[in-house]
Amino acid sequence: KYMSVTTTIIAVRYDGRVVIRSDSRASKCSFLFLCSCLSRFIFCCMAGSLADAQEVKNAVIHQLSFHRSASCKSRNPLLVKSAAAIMRSICYTHRDELSAGFIVAGWDRINDPQVGNSRNLLLVSGSTFIYGYADAKFMPGMTREECLTFRINALTLAMDRGNVSGCIVHLAIVTEKGAERQLIPGNKLPV
């Protein structure tokens, strides 16, 4: 079933970090939902139906608890690709009922920063204008400043062009030390 996504979500890997971001019309209270923690080092961003997204997120967290228990016993870390595989499996199984899109990103000590099963960039957008920008401007191995510029410009473009995109940017920067969360109001974004 075709899903009309109204939120733009993007994850970018750079310099030992992964940044996951979303735009929204909602206030600070929805930040934990839009950019949710699946574990201390693994996050997901969601777009589409909030009810669908919440149910999928809860199911993933539940399944990850089993993986976490097994990981503790075997001393193997919880992997980003495992969380992404669980998310993908649940979404595929319920593809005919869901109206939600997800990005899973984070850091693990085996594979360092990751974006889902990709190593660099993943994008789900309610605004098709952003795809051309991402194709033209994304470069593997970006510096922190290049990554900041890329992701701010990408979300700002989506928000400007998408008639139902948000006006607030939520982000989480995930490293081996944990996550730093930020909220950027629309009046702090480039014109």
Could you list the active site residues? 7
Q: CA–CA separation, 8 vs 35, rounded Å?
A: 12
Closest CA to 108 of 57, 60, 144, 67: 67
DSSP 34-62: HEEESSSSEEEEEEE-HHHHHHHHHHHHH
Please report the sign of the dihedral spanned by the C-alpha atoms of residue 77, residue 81, residue 87, residue 89: negative
Closest CA to 85 of 104, 58, 110, 62: 104
**Residue matched to tokens 């199911």:** 59
> CB of 20 within 8 A of CB of 8?
no
